[in-house]
Structure formats: C-alpha cells, structure tokens
Structure 1
C-alpha cells in the first residue's frame, strides 16, 4: 500500500513538473510573441520619432503667426497657397539672386510601368517650384523674388519654349527623389522675353538630376500682344542673369510621310486660365509615341529604348487650345538622329506646339 502510494505520489509529482514546465514554455512563448508584437509596434514609432522633420532654414522674414498665414488672403499667391501646406519651402541666397525651393518630391502616380518618372511630372514639379519662388511674398511689404509679383501686376507672361536635360540617374531607383531641391535663377532678360534656369538637385549628394530653361514672353493684359518689360525691372535685375542669351528652339519642318494621332482635348488637361496646360502637350506627344510603337510604324524607337528614359526634350509653343478642340499629333523620325522622335501638334491645320524627344542610350 505504501509502495503504491509512493509510486502515485512520484507520478503525480512528475506530472505536476511536466505541467509546470509546459506552462512555463507556453508562458514564455506568449511573452516572446508579446515582446515581438511590442517591438513591431513600438520600435517603428521610436524610429519615426528619431527621424525629425526636415526643417529648412530660411532667410525670409516671418510676418505673421501660422494661424494668420493660413487664413489671410495672399493676393497673387493665393492660387499656389496649397504648396505651402504640401511642404514647399523657400529661401533666397546670393543676394537674393538664387531661389532655393525645397519640395516633397514626385507622387506615386508620377511613375510609369518601367519605374521611370514621367517627364511631364518632372515638368510640373519645376513649374510649381518656379511659381512658388516668383509669387510667394517674402515679408509684410509683399516683396517677391526678383520683384516678380510687381512685374505680374503690369503684364502677363506666357511660355514660348523650354528645354530639359534629364540625367540618367533620374531613372535610377537607388537615387532618392524625396525630398528634392530646385534652384531657380534668372537666365536672361531681353526686350520682351526672358528666361529662367532651374536645376533639380538631390539634397543629400548635391547631384543635379534635371536641368531646365523656360523662355517667357511678356504679354500686354489689354491687347494680349507682346510688350516690352519695364525698364526698372531690367535695370534692377539684369546683372543677375546667369545665361545671358535667349533660348531659341528652331521650328521643325514636318515631312509629308509623318505619322498621325488624333484626339480631343478634355477639361482635365486645362489650367487655371482654361487653356491646355503646357505640360499636357508633353503628355500628348508621349501618347502619340506609344501609339506609334504599338502600331509598329517607328524604326528606331521601341519599348526597350523607352525604358532607358528621356535624355533631352525641347519644346516650342505657337498657340493656345481649349477644352473640346480636336488636335492631331504628327510624329516622325530622322535617319541620322538615333533614339529621337519629332512632334508637331496641330489644330485646324495650324501648328500650336512642337516637341523633340531624345532617349538615353
């Protein structure tokens, strides 16, 4: 009897030990899972807290409180005030001859199926940065970079031509594009035309990813015809010009055997003036290009060439279009110009835009 009790007690003790051990193991597993969950939940938040927001130092005077800035009318800047909330920041260097605009970078829909950033998205980023630099009031006296706000009170400016040079690193997924820095400078002042030079810079390395020149023409608000720039503006800022010459884009001669792509302008392709946005013409060109690739009418351009990304783009504007206009894109290649396509967009038989695209090798 004693022996049987002793055996039972030993068995019970061993069973209890096994149960306690299993409980210990289960408990440890739960603690480990909890620990992992806590690390998954807590560690990222710690890392986020360690990544302090990028605060751009500025030479611009603070004129009002944040609340007042959010609520007050900003005059001519009003159409672009959303850029402030998006994170655009401005500072002036080199005796206010250089505007440095810090921008968040391209959005996720700015990339194509090959992972390359659309050139029209880059064009829009530069345009936004230039508008921001020109129209953001610097202080309570409503000073503007290069007095462009004052200039805009007297006349309008419209784009006549533009050129872009895209470095191959722009298409390298290992090169960060968030955020970006865009340097804007006066390039040239003529009688009734001017241009601005903009470079997109990767902030951490200082590498230039895109070089751009925009040629603008001064337009009289009443007659809607070219008009000279005021003499005070040329005298005050002429010595800040870094290019010293206009951007001249030669007009293309369309061949008789050019390929065609026809469409109608949609409302979403227009701007705040209800005209076709200048970047939309770039979209039309590239849509026509891919139409040509699909139809197999191009000899030197195919999907593999397009994957390399655009190296150079030159554009010239001759007219304006509005919603509902039917446009025809004529496009062609030249035998001794590899990886290059030429475009001429017409409305009712009249050229309104021309473009040349050259792709990286």
Structure 2
C-alpha cells in the first residue's frame, strides 16, 4: 500500500461520506494530503470530432477544480485572499494513461454519476516563494491509474506582480509538516526555447472568457489555444507526423511552463513545430510582442493507434 493510501486507509470508504454532497472530499489527519471523489464524466466532456474521445479541455478544467478545492481545504485561506497576494502557476505537467485513449473503457468506467473518479492530492515540495503539488487520478471502481497532474505555484504580490515570501502560517504544523513531505517531486525551470524560422504561427486575440480571477489567461485557455493551433497546422499539411485534429492522437503527456502574463485584448502568436528527431513530439510557444510568455511540449503514446472513428 502506498504512503498516500496509508493516510486514508483507516477511514471509511469515501463514497459513504458527506451523503448530501455530489463532490466529496476529506483531508488527511496530518493535513498533508486530500482525497476528492468526483462523479463520472458527462456527455459534454466527449467530442465526436475526435472519435468520441475525452476532451483535453475538460480534463484541464477538472484538474483545476481539484486543485482549487484541495488547496482551500489544506492551506490557510488567507493565501487565496483577493487583497495584495495571489497564486500564479509557474509549471505544470499532465501525464495521461493509455486507458484514457479508449472510448470503450471511458464509457464503461468513467461516464455518469455511477462511475466516480478518485483524486489524491498532496503537497510535494516547498520553497521560499513557491510550492509544488501532485494530483493522482484513479478509477474508483477498478483502482487503475488514469493520470497524474503536477503543478508548481508561486505566491505573488498583486501590486508588483512579482513573487513574495510565503506566509509563516502557510504550512500547517510548520517545519514538522515539511518533514512529512515524503515525495520530493518538484518541477524545475525548463531550458530556454527558441522558435525556429519554419514554425507554424497562428494569431489569436484574447477574450474576456479566456481569463481567470487574476485577470490573465487561464491555464485551460492556453491549452485550448495550442490544441486549436496544432489542429490548424495539421489539417493545412504543415506537419509531417500529424494530419488531423491534434486531440485525435493518443496524448501521453503535456509539459507546460508559464513565463509571463497575457491579458484581455492582447494579440498573441501561437507558434508550433515538430521536435527534431523526435516523431510524435510537438513544441509550442506563445509570444506577445516577440516575448515568449508560455511554452508547451506535447508527447504522444507511440504504441497506440488512433481511433478508427476519425
């Protein structure tokens, strides 16, 4: 049994708790981890344009909801105040199981209220101005792993828009709490990206609906920009290994770095190109006025065929 499971093994089945709640959650005794139980996916989470597969935008918004709910229950709520401080994402990595590429599996095990999904969330690294957390996604019925989401967040001053020292009461139990962080998972800064001259460029103007409570582009909107641009490049014949809707391919992982803010009305260029000597790997960079503010690397499962419905 894993360390995370140990923290909840003495508790009743989470599906029996909080009977009045559609979304169930609980925090471990040491305040180090949380469990969240969500109902299965709905009809709108699947996209017929990609063979009835699960939409990545839906996955991104789901992971965002887990992150917000778990952090608010784990961490002092003052960290999320709308005063002079807030949280920005610095890095994130989404890893997806091959099981999620099977529409048959998803319909049988992840669709409707009767097919809940379990998420285990825990803090894995603490710094002076940042912290990293991991969300492990499991099929509640079969106990099979479906994915993992790692996020590095930075504590920011809303006045200067620069990192600031985390408050002393940020971690329950202080130094003792830090000692219980057994997983040292962290996301380091990626190497600088240089956009090649032959990169496909797709211009987009930021809408109000693309932004979040911090008044800049939401993490799921960035992903949407890249997916739309990647599909545009593929169907126009600008890519060698991708010819159709990008989400139709069996996506293995998405590695993201946030380097700056993008605001409402900004005109951005989504640039993308295929990694040299790495078939099935796409590179993305978003720039504003020639400054790169976002990068993403998307990798594909090499041993899985595309849906025959595409």
With normalisation by structure 1, the TM-score equals 0.70
Kept in 1, the 8 Å contact 2:227–2:247? The answer is no
The counterpart of 1:105, out of the listed 24, 40, 44, is: 40
Matched residue, 2:90: 160
Which structure has the bigger radius of gyration? 1
Helix, strand or coil at the partner of 1:319: coil
Matched residue, 1:56: 15
Shift of residue 253, structure 1, vs aligned partner = 2.1
The counterpart of 2:243, out of the listed 302, 309, 320, is: 302
After superposition, residues 224-303 of structure 1 pair within 5 angstroms as: 224-232=161-169, 233=171, 234-250=174-190, 251-303=192-244
Task: Give distance in 2, aligned partners of 1:237 and 1:198.
Answer: 19
Deviations 1:249-294 (A, max 9, x none): 4132221221111121122212233321111000110111101111
Alpha-carbon RMSD: 2.4
Task: Give distance in 2, aligned partners of 1:221 and 1:235.
Answer: 27
After superposition, residues 37-186 of structure 1 pair within 5 angstroms as: 56-58=15-17, 87-93=22-28, 95-112=30-47, 113=49, 114-135=51-72, 144-145=73-74, 147-153=75-81, 155-173=85-103, 174-175=105-106, 176-177=109-110, 178-186=115-123
After superposition, residues 201-220 of structure 1 pair within 5 angstroms as: 201-220=138-157
Is 2:259 the partner of 1:318? yes
Deviations 1:152-180 (A, max 9, x none): 35842110010011001012222422321
**Counterparts in 2 of 1:241 and 1:155: CA distance versus 1, 3 Å:** farther
Gaps of 5+ in 2: 1-12, 303-310
Task: Give distance in 2, aligned partners of 1:96 and 1:235.
Answer: 13
Structure with the higher fraction of residues in strand conformation: 2
Gaps of 5+ in 1: 1-53, 67-83, 136-143
Task: Give distance in 1, aligned partners of 2:40 and 2:76.
Answer: 25
Higher relative contact order (CA 8 A, sep 6+): 2
With normalisation by structure 2, the TM-score equals 0.81
Shift of residue 118, structure 1, vs aligned partner = 1.9
Number of residue pairs aligned between Structure 1 and Structure 2 = 275
Task: Give distance in 1, aligned partners of 2:143 and 2:58.
Answer: 21
Task: Give distance in 1, aligned partners of 2:120 and 2:14.
Answer: 18
Kept in 2, the 8 Å contact 1:119–1:310? The answer is no
Helix, strand or coil at the partner of 2:76: helix
Kept in 2, the 8 Å contact 1:186–1:240? The answer is no
Task: Give distance in 2, aligned partners of 1:223 and 1:263.
Answer: 27
Task: Give distance in 2, aligned partners of 1:150 and 1:242.
Answer: 26
Task: Give distance in 2, aligned partners of 1:318 and 1:305.
Answer: 24
Is 2:274 the partner of 1:333? yes
Helix, strand or coil at the partner of 1:164: strand
